[in-house]
Structure 1
């Protein structure tokens, strides 16, 4: 049974983890395994990253996945396939072009009529001037005016019709651009599936007759998220509820309906492959051992195409079939991608991967199968690739190749010396499922050799380019991208309920869950700046995860109050969220300055500042008010400042915000309807010949 005839299993999307950019999707599939173990799981999106595919068996002990690869099938659709939105846009586009053409023709007629003017007939030099009747001039002017009046009236109607059609066309185009991308094409039905090979280590009958549940995991681009919060609080209570929400936008090509959503701040594109550490030996240099699993190209490889070359040039074809995965569809070929580096060069004989045309005897006995995600299983043998310097590629991805050319480009620098030693392959060159055998029309020594490539890379790249456009969406107000607010740490938040997010590239807000935070109400005032008391909520993060920066909607007593910007709150951190002025708490501040001289000869000026603050609580509950004052700070050795008050300096790191130098704090507990008076002050002693900048008197 081939891959095309393998049984098809339907799959359902179960969970999605959205990263800073991109997402990892998890699908579940169930079915009976055929005797040969080959199955095809459908439902994957077109923008899937083939190198990220992973598969494992959940419910059948002793059964494992030995091969997993992405396959694409395409076939033309029937003419009756509904595509109402796209057809509406095409119809309105034609109407808009027709209306614009009618308007332009009307403008042309107006210009023609406006250009009408009397032209005198040609006369000879000896002929006298002839008089033109005035009635003829007036009749021509009346004709032009009457004609222009009718044309302008018609022009107004055409411009109004053009504006109406343009508005309808703009609305339809916007609806089409915002529509979900989880819809089939209007002409071609494309099916993306995962071809899996299952193998059992136990009884073979159990594998064939039993029902197996599979889990597929793959990465897709085109998904972003930013955090948001909703804070609910009741006055007089020291408790509240902070709900974490997330604004998610995705254009991955599939609608997320009823899936579990996870949100992570990690970078999905960060490479996680381990570096290869090579040993250093001291002693006489020895030749590198020949890599196993590779062999020299067979002798006379070029003679295999002698008959093909003798037949003459191939006739040009008007249309060629497009091979996509295991299926095919008729249509023009897309532009070919640049040819990657192959196994071996045209002028040197280097090893190529063992294939159908011969391999080492010990290699035929142990066939190489690729692991899920495109990683080959080498079975303990080392492999090598083409000679020369090669940039390392991510697992399952080919390194960017240079464009092929029949002649070397002109360069003033000498050509680099060929690399010495065994060839070093990249990760894409070891992905045997993605290797393509070059045909007889290839040039430059590529004929009859295996090279990494895929017939649908160009189409998949276009889907991924469209999906990644969501990264340029404007952010909601006060929103911060998770990579900027998370710093060097990565966090993950899992939603408590399933959610629906269509693939339309717009922001959708979902609720993630409630976060336990410490919450208390405090009142803050700085009477030296403004004699107003402000109510604040002091948030303390009591969890082991950071609260990322984002907008927070504050609701007090079931009434929406404001939307504030919450900064990143580390575990154990404390932040204030302002609620606005508190009309029920009053503050009054009065100051007094007395200047005198002291010392044996009066050579010291004493500036005695007195501060008197009165607080009044008109609320029906006790409150805690924090009063901020500030005393001068000096760096002069002959200037002394002596404080006379019961205020205290804020401790470093104890408060929810940073304080300026010289800040002093009073914390007063006021009962319901109570008052309090605070007295403080300080003395500034300066030499008599000096004065404070701006004058000695201070408020």
Structure 2
């Protein structure tokens, strides 16, 4: 028996693949080679049996793992081996039980005392009336009243203590439920053990071999683990440079704590089958039968005949069971042999004829029709079960192609002679897990229903059509308590451009914006990003999935030290012959002030009307300083693109102010008006 420890874990969107390492000393192999079986303890009861794998990392040359199985058991634990929380809970429950018993006894005593009554004796016929013993009745009433007062006082005190004890027990139960499930809190702890069989190579020498040190690595899949990416963007407010740190929120309840493990975070789907597809050839001509699978062979004919003796013994056994042992038969001379089966042949009265072997309940289910060889040409035909039965004119069925279950050799079991059908044949075992493992897997599945952090997105949805794996830079610890744990992963290579954006026509507030460009070689998954400016937390913003080279704008909130004021003027006049054209002249004046101790770049956005009517013309005034027209969406701001946007990029030194001027004129026929009114600005 050897212990083991978790060395590395790869967490997927649902579930994880754990790797355990065990060091053991194998006894020396015999001269002709042989096998050795070792029990490796420490495995969680939530693992999937069919996912367990083993390999020899280091050891003697030629040593290999030939078989590995899972064995479930239970270990009775002493009181000093239980967690402290469990012991405290047992003490609290014992105290609660004692208080409840005391409360019940006091309540019963209160009921008995309250039932005390003065009952005078029944008078006899002819007796004169008696005086009522008033003093005795009053004394009894006073005793009952004083006694009930004492009992009620004790009962109230016990009920208060019971309420406190019940609250303490609930608190301990809640803390125990939230604690790690790596260590069982019950007296009987379930355990999973791997039975590993090693095959030794043949030894040329006859000398006894010495024990050999072997390093074994086990790999298995456990449910109850998930992760979500989160980021931290650290910005320098003066230069705008920043770094993006990838972190991961990991939650697991796999039945084992991950302490000091190499953690990998994958976007791949762990439960999806990944069988290599087989491309079949396209043939022109007569249809041909599909070639048989190389790893499959039809069962041989006559399997039921192998159980004829078993069936005969089973048929005779109920008759002879419980009868006295008969005396030995008398020695008589054997009669001469007689031809059997002839007409008028004498019946054998010395012993009963052996019972005919019963036919299997479902011969077709046990052995396919194609498994029986056809009769030779010209040979005798098979006898039918009934006299004059019609011959079977149906052709034999073609051999069925084996399914995936029949090709899973590790799950094939041999049906015994008592099987209702298919005895003597291999059949896939049920995929139902061990009851203990099934219960622990059900509890672990609750991790998938955890509420995710704000702005967090499922990695399978954010990854799209690509799969990638992120590895932590250092070993991490993740407790099996089913709660979120944040672990650092790595620093992501990105470039940042810091600028301030304002749309004074809508809101005079100035917003800080960071243009994040993914310069790494892999995509960044969608998730929340904590923005830190000069070491101070600003806000948490959602970050979408970024492909390599893609840019995205991330808002960092309102900059109170950068102020913008906008003044708009509109003058309406007429032009053209007889005043047939209305001219709406708009002038915009914007003041921008920087009160920060470092220079900034402010982008001020305005909008010029856009018209599809040929009778309406838009004439822009010369802006000072000149503004630029956005002909296409800005990288990272595709959702904010609006036609007719004009923008200024104004660099401002600390404490400086700039004035921006611009405008436009709308020329439209006198019979038309701007939607919403000509003076809406």
| Residue 651 (structure 2) aligned to one of 634, 644, 669 | 669
Alpha-carbon offset, residue 423 of structure 1: 3.8
Q: Which stretch has the larger CA shift, 246-255 or 108-117?
A: 108-117
Rounded to whole Å, the distance in 1 between the matches of 2:632 and 2:215 is 57
**1:28 lines up with 2:38 in the alignment:** no
Partner of 1:382: none
Partner of 1:323: none
SS of the residue aligned with 2:546? Answer: coil
Alpha-carbon offset, residue 418 of structure 1: 13
Partner of 1:621: 598
**1:453 lines up with 2:426 in the alignment:** no
CA contact (8 A) 2:55 2:65 kept: no
Partner of 2:640: 659
Q: 1:348 to 1:116 in 2, by over 3 A?
A: same
1:522-671 superposed matches below 5 A: 522-644=499-621, 645=623, 646-657=626-637, 658-661=639-642, 662-671=644-653
Rounded to whole Å, the distance in 2 between the matches of 1:284 and 1:491 is 44
Partner of 1:174: 174
Superimposed CA distance per residue, residues 39-82 of structure 1 (whole angstroms, 9 cap, x where no aligned partner):
43614322222222333444469637463422215365365662
**1:283 lines up with 2:291 in the alignment:** no
1:368-387 superposed matches below 5 A: none
SS of the residue aligned with 1:266? Answer: coil
Partner of 2:333: none
CA contact (8 A) 1:650 1:659 kept: no
Q: Which stretch has the larger CA shift, 624-633 or 575-584?
A: 575-584
Normalised by the size of structure 2, how large is the TM-score?
Answer: 0.75
Q: 1:580 to 1:312 in 2, by over 3 A?
A: same
Partner of 1:250: 252
Rounded to whole Å, the distance in 1 between the matches of 2:654 and 2:670 is 49
CA contact (8 A) 2:498 2:515 kept: yes
Rounded to whole Å, the distance in 1 between the matches of 2:167 and 2:71 is 39
Partner of 2:164: 164
Rounded to whole Å, the distance in 2 between the matches of 1:273 and 1:581 is 53
Rounded to whole Å, the distance in 2 between the matches of 1:153 and 1:231 is 63
Partner of 1:334: none
Rounded to whole Å, the distance in 2 between the matches of 1:39 and 1:673 is 80
1:111-260 superposed matches below 5 A: 153-183=153-183, 186-187=187-188, 190-198=191-199, 211-260=213-262
CA contact (8 A) 1:16 1:24 kept: yes
Q: Which stretch has the larger CA shift, 261-270 or 539-548?
A: 539-548
Rounded to whole Å, the distance in 2 between the matches of 1:683 and 1:492 is 57
SS of the residue aligned with 1:569? Answer: coil
Q: 1:181 to 1:208 in 2, by over 3 A?
A: farther
Alpha-carbon offset, residue 494 of structure 1: 0.7
**1:347 lines up with 2:363 in the alignment:** yes
Alpha-carbon offset, residue 107 of structure 1: 7.2
Alpha-carbon offset, residue 268 of structure 1: 0.8
**1:55 lines up with 2:54 in the alignment:** yes
Partner of 1:307: 313
Rounded to whole Å, the distance in 2 between the matches of 1:204 and 1:51 is 38
Alpha-carbon offset, residue 607 of structure 1: 0.9
Rounded to whole Å, the distance in 1 between the matches of 2:608 and 2:145 is 85
Task: Mark the structure with the bigger radius of gyration.
Answer: 2
CA contact (8 A) 2:366 2:421 kept: no
CA contact (8 A) 2:45 2:72 kept: no
Superimposed CA distance per residue, residues 296-340 of structure 1 (whole angstroms, 9 cap, x where no aligned partner):
324152541443454449x9xxxxxxxxxxxxxxxxxxxxxxxxx
| Residue 7 (structure 2) aligned to one of 14, 19, 41 | 14
CA contact (8 A) 2:634 2:641 kept: no
Superimposed CA distance per residue, residues 230-252 of structure 1 (whole angstroms, 9 cap, x where no aligned partner):
22223212322221111111111
Q: Which stretch has the larger CA shift, 563-572 or 611-620?
A: 563-572
Q: 1:673 to 1:295 in 2, by over 3 A?
A: same
Alpha-carbon offset, residue 591 of structure 1: 0.5
| Residue 40 (structure 1) aligned to one of 32, 38, 48 | 38
Rounded to whole Å, the distance in 1 between the matches of 2:14 and 2:191 is 25
Superimposed CA distance per residue, residues 157-213 of structure 1 (whole angstroms, 9 cap, x where no aligned partner):
344223212221122212222222222563256342152434659989999776554
Q: Which stretch has the larger CA shift, 142-151 or 516-525?
A: 142-151
Q: 1:450 to 1:294 in 2, by over 3 A?
A: closer
SS of the residue aligned with 1:294? Answer: coil
Normalised by the size of structure 1, how large is the TM-score?
Answer: 0.73
Rounded to whole Å, the distance in 2 between the matches of 1:669 and 1:418 is 90
SS of the residue aligned with 1:532? Answer: strand
Partner of 1:340: none
Partner of 1:508: 485
Rounded to whole Å, the distance in 1 between the matches of 2:76 and 2:573 is 99
CA contact (8 A) 2:366 2:425 kept: no
Rounded to whole Å, the distance in 2 between the matches of 1:206 and 1:212 is 21
1:59-138 superposed matches below 5 A: 59=58, 63=62, 65=64, 67-74=66-73, 76-77=75-76, 82-84=81-83, 85-96=85-96, 99=99
RMSD between superposed Cα atoms in Å:
4.2
Rounded to whole Å, the distance in 1 between the matches of 2:282 and 2:318 is 54
SS of the residue aligned with 1:197? Answer: strand
Q: 1:167 to 1:419 in 2, by over 3 A?
A: farther
